[in-house]
Amino acid sequence: MSAFAATKSLLAIDMRSVARDSFLRWMSLLGIAMALLVRWGIPPLTDWLTREHGFDLLPYYPLIMSFMLVLMPLLAGVVLGFLLLDQKDDQTLTALQVTPLQLKGYLRYRLGSAMLISALLTIVVMKIAGLIPVALGPLLLMALMVSPLGAFFALFLAAFANNKVQGMALTKANGILTLPPVVAWFVDPPWQWAFGLAPTFWPSKAFWVYAQSGQIHLGHWLFGLVFLSVCTWLMLKRFNTVMSR
């Protein structure tokens, strides 16, 4: 079977799996729904807070948009992680090891799709949300930077959960990783850099710098991309260890 034919077959299976699972359907649409809520809800909320309480929400727009930036790979990773968990549960992944596709070929498809969907969803959602305009070039760089997170979150679920119930619990644990950048926003350097141990910090930091200067800090961007890629590679090693037992 050619790589194209295998990808086409696996994609059709994935689409059917998502279509018949209400949780996965909801997770697939959540990012777009949140982007619309931000676009149409935050500006009126800003006006109301300023008028009624004298509180200016505008300075926090970079924080809101950076939260959306790291949330999109999480949502993509959860959907694809549950698909991976399903195939782990029904022994499909074990069976793949003796097929022409093999487990390595399947993982290339699964992780590649997680990264691609994360990047595309990030671009669409950031454009829809639109609290802070982002030029196409910087947006593409940010989408590339966060793309390994989708694979990371998918592998995390498949490596540590034994069933869907555990997967639900670990989804909440994944969500905790969106919080360090929120806390870091209120911490001044150099202490802010302590949050760099969280993979979600670096995309957020890159966006904050862009919102302030209008430019991507290439040092932050490159370090973040490498750091996120290493985190994903380590999670892949953990997953391979689990599968080889």
R_g over Cα of the chain:
19
List the domain range (segments joined by +) for residue 149.
3-243
pLDDT tens per residue across span 72-129: 999 999 999 888 888 776 655 554 555 555 667 778 888 899 999 999 999 999 999 9
pLDDT tens per residue across span 53-67: 999 999 999 999 999
Provide the terminal-to-terminal Cα distance of the chain, rounded to the nearest Å.
28
Tokens of 11: 């994609």
The reported pLDDT for the residue numbered 19 is 81
32: burial class by Cβ within 10 Å (0-12, 13-18, 19+)?
middle
The reported pLDDT for the residue numbered 135 is 94
The reported pLDDT for the residue numbered 229 is 96
The reported pLDDT for the residue numbered 21 is 81
The structure tokens 């932050």 sit at 220
Across the chain, mean pLDDT equals 87
Tokens of 164: 């869907």
Distance between CA atoms of 166 and 158, rounded to whole angstroms? 10
pTM of the model: 0.89
Contacts of 115 (CB under 8 A, 6+ apart): 147, 148, 150, 151
pLDDT tens per residue across span 162-220: 877 888 888 888 888 899 999 999 998 889 999 999 999 999 999 999 999 999 999 99
The reported pLDDT for the residue numbered 9 is 67
Q: What's the total number of domains in the chain?
A: 1
Distance between CA atoms of 200 and 207, rounded to whole angstroms? 11
Tokens of 242: 């689990």
Rounded average pLDDT over 139-167: 91
The reported pLDDT for the residue numbered 2 is 47
The reported pLDDT for the residue numbered 97 is 53
**Span of 12-21, 26-35, 233-242 with lowest mean pLDDT:** 12-21
Contact 181, 204 (CB under 8 A): yes
The reported pLDDT for the residue numbered 204 is 96
Whether the per-residue pLDDT at 5 is higher than 90: the answer is: no
Q: Cis omega before residue 190 (within 30°)?
A: yes
The structure tokens 């802010």 sit at 192
Rounded average pLDDT over 9-20: 76
Contacts of 242 (CB under 8 A, 6+ apart): 158, 159
